[in-house]
Copies of this chain bind each other. A is one copy, B any other.
Amino acid sequence: MEKIMGVTREIQVKQVNIQDPFWSAMQNRMIDVVLPFQEKVLNDEVEGVEKSHAIENFRIAAGMGEGEFYGMVFQDSDVAKWLEAVAYALSIKPDPQLEQRADAVIQIIAKAQQPDGYLDTYFIIKEPQRRWQNLQECHELYCAGHMMEAAAAYFQATGKDQLLRVTERLAAHIIGRFGPRDEGKEPGVPGHQEVEIGLLKLYRVTGKQKYKDMARFFLEERGKNPDYFYEEKRRRGWQHWGQYSLEPPDNQYNQAHATIYEQKEAVGHAVRAVYMYTAMADLAALDGDRRLYQACQVLWDNIVNKRMYVTGGIGSTAEGEAFTIDYDLPNDMAYAETCASIAMVFFAKRMLENNADGSYADIMERELYNGAASGIQLDGKRYFYVNPLEVQPGVSGKLFGYQHALAQRPGWYACACCPTNLARLVASLGAYCWTERGDTVYSHLFIGQTADLEHAQITIESSYPWEGKVCYRIKPKSRQAFTLAIHLPGYLDLEDGTTKVTVNGEAANIQELTKDGYLYLGRSWEEGDTVAVSFALPVRKLYASQQVRDNAGCVALMRGPVVYCFESADNGSCLQSLRIPAKMEADAFLCQEGILKGNVLLRVKGYRMKGADGLYTQVRPVKEPAELTAVPYYAWANRGEGQMRVWLLEEGV
């Protein structure tokens, strides 16, 4: 294995205190609205919401309650994701009562664990004789992975190790059972990838090599025997979910069709896929494994160059919540699951740990401000699992082919993956802002904050994404020189003078100092040193590849990292009749009232086509001037049901 570069130091959530015009509100929403609501749901205290029973399942498994298991076979993961989010929340905003309640839940989980380390309430309560027989469908390893992530986070946040010890016992159980056949173990792999991520987090927290080895086994064993799941199925003679029976070649669904080194295209269930790529990239960075990193890069390129919506959404079909084929990106039928965009943030973070290339940070930013953020209503109370780029009342959410693509965010689902996933992402956002490696600290995101880093405390004052003004104030911890590498978003023009960086008021030569999207400023920093980044944020027109059928003739508007969309609330009905002029005049303005207050909206002088009467006519439509208003995509569907489009036809051609 060839080493790429020194291993990065992972930033912990508690090192970062976010104060940001965009993300502080989002974090508060998560901590103040989503987590308490989720806690009530997990405890079955919310009326009108499908029963969770998730904590009760643990109580029953622990012998502390009576009754039957209830919920999905992966119900345990809801508790794990909540605990992980709570850990991050406690890092940001200490809350002794919340911590006490979380401790109590951990206590129950610990009691539910079996003497041999096994932990999965579905099988403990319901089918103890069927443990580990159905890796393909039954999510035992998936739940274990989430519990490991929660344990690592909770330990880092509170220093308490009860859950960490539980998951180490669980990991020992797993390591004892799965591995190479010649070691007398079962060469199984998870049906839904996630345990690989969890094991690597255990490794990071404990430093124990065996967890990393186990993660590598699960990754490299996958697809070596593409028939593994079918053999397992024949052996056990029963199924959990008939519809996921997955005869070949459907093992693409969970990326078990080929080894990770042979996979050249992103296929199958998008979340499974990108969780796997995330673990691959994580392991590649930890081991400096260039071959593995290159395998990741191939898959990354396939996604971002051929299979990703402009919002960052991935997995374009509802069938299997999956990738389809290159350039198949229908706007109104999009699946583009919130969790899949979140997974892309994970993947991007790990890719950055392999190679500080701004293109990863660009995608991370695209996902955060668009495909992931759109998952939650501005009041924090409702959630999109599916993030279409076009909706039409009467069609979206109703007709065949569009039933998954709702025009309004629904409430809490029984399968509550996206809200809990979003909660843990947003609560841990600080950890995504930086990578430290040797004497370089990489700043990936223009998010306002104070960060306590290896070499310095750095405060970022930011009015991003609404304005192009970001200021870094450095308070070094020693006189030792270090390099601050600031990611300059890929859309910035570094040559026309609109992007400026000054260090203590003195202009830096950005063209000379920037490599692969990072501006490298190395010096012996002194307290009070200030790096000011300023840049123009013009409204940009994006054109899709000609290969994308659904965007032919269209443009999408972006300003900074924010994708915009057009809604009926501002533009009336029949959005398909609107046109963006070839030479566009667009004003960005701060919304002063209503639910969108504080967001920068766009006002575009455009056109509305007026056609003759009749379904088909020989009369050419005529254009009338129309003032169009676009709102940030993440904020759509907050003003009642209406039509929405990201892509509008452009006048001209």
- Interface residues, chain A, CB within 8 Å of chain B? 304-306, 308, 310, 317-319, 324-325, 327-328, 330, 332-333, 392, 394-395, 399-401, 491, 540-549, 552-553, 556, 574, 576-577, 579, 582, 607, 609-612, 614-621, 623, 649, 651-653
How far apart are the CA atoms of A327 and B399 in the complex, in Å?
Answer: 13
- Tell me, in angstroms, the Cα distance from A544 to B576 when the chains sit together: 12
Query: A60 to B468, alpha carbons, bound, how many Å?
Result: 83
Q: B614 and A545: CB pair below 8 A? A: yes
Which 4 pairs from chain A and chain B are nearest by CB? A319-B400, A401-B401, A552-B576, A546-B577
Contact call A543/B616, Cβ cutoff below 8 A: yes
Pick 17 A–B contacts, CB within 8 A, sort by A: A304-B615, A305-B614, A305-B615, A308-B615, A325-B399, A328-B392, A392-B549, A401-B401, A540-B618, A541-B620, A543-B611, A543-B618, A544-B615, A545-B615, A552-B576, A552-B609, A652-B652
B400 touches A620 (CB 8 A): no
What residue of chain B has the Cβ atom nearest to residue A329's Cβ?
B615
Bound: A324/B402 CA distance, A: 12
Q: A610 to B327, alpha carbons, bound, how many Å?
A: 16
A399-B324, A653-B579, A653-B607 as given contacts; A542 in contact with B618, CB under 8 Å = yes
Q: Are B576 and A328 in contact (CB under 8 A)?
A: no
Contact of A546 with B333 in the complex, beta carbons under 8 Å: no
Interface pair B541/A618, CB less than 8 Å apart: yes
Residues on B with C-beta less than 8 A from A308 are: 615
- By beta carbon, the residue of chain B nearest A335 is B400
Take A304-B615, A328-B394 as given contacts and tell me if A649 and B553 are in contact as well, using a CB distance cutoff of 8 Å. yes
Q: What residues of B have a CB within 8 angstroms of the CB of A616 in the complex?
A: 310, 542-545, 556
Q: Which residues of B contact A327 (CB under 8 A)?
A: 615
| A400: nearest chain-B partner, CB-CB | B319
Bound complex: CA A232 to CA B612 (Å): 48
Give CA–CA (A584, B543) in the complex, Å: 25
Question: Chain B residues near A305 (CB, 8 Å)?
Answer: 614-615
Assess the B546–A395 pair: CB atoms within 8 A: no
Chain B residues closer than 8 Å to A623, beta-carbon distance: 653
Known A-B contacts A577-B552, A653-B651; A543 and B621 likewise in contact (beta carbons under 8 Å): yes
Residues on B with C-beta less than 8 A from A332 are 549
Closest-by-CB residue of B relative to A620 is B543
Q: For the complex, what is the distance from the CA of A579 to the CA of B652, rounded to whole Å?
A: 11
Interchain nearest-CB distance for A124 vs B (Å): 36
Complex Cα spacing A547 to B572, Å: 13
Q: Identify A649's interface contact among B318, B544, B552, CB under 8 A.
A: B552
**Whole-angstrom distance between the alpha carbons of A305 and B617 in the complex?**
11
> Known pairs A548-B615, A552-B609, A553-B649. 8 more at Cβ < 8 A?
A305-B614, A392-B549, A543-B621, A545-B614, A545-B616, A546-B621, A553-B553, A609-B653
Q: Which residues of B contact A395 (CB under 8 A)?
A: 324-325, 328
Q: A543-B618, A545-B611 are in contact. Are A400 and B318 (CB under 8 A)?
A: yes
Task: Judge whether B611 and A546 touch: CB under 8 Å.
Answer: yes
- Nearest CB on B from A242, distance (A): 16
Instruction: Name A546's contact: one of B304, B306, B576 (CB within 8 Å).
Output: B576
Kindly state the separation between the CA atoms of A617 and B577 in the bound complex, as whole angstroms.
Answer: 24
Do the beta carbons of B609 and A546 come within 8 Å of each other?
A: yes
A196 vs chain B, min Cβ distance (A) = 28
- Nearest B residue to A612 via CB reads B543
Complex Cα spacing A479 to B310, Å = 75
User: Could you say which of A310, A328, A543, A607 has the most chain B C-beta atoms within 10 Å of its C-beta?
Assistant: A543
Q: How far is it, in angstroms, between the C-alpha of A610 and the C-alpha of B546 when the chains are bound?
A: 7
Which residue of chain B lies nearest to A553 when distances are taken between CB atoms in the complex?
B649
Name A399's contact: one of B306, B310, B317, B399 (CB within 8 Å).
B317
**A643, closest chain B residue (CB):** B549
Query: Inside 8 A of A545's CB, which chain B residues have their CB?
Result: 611, 614-617
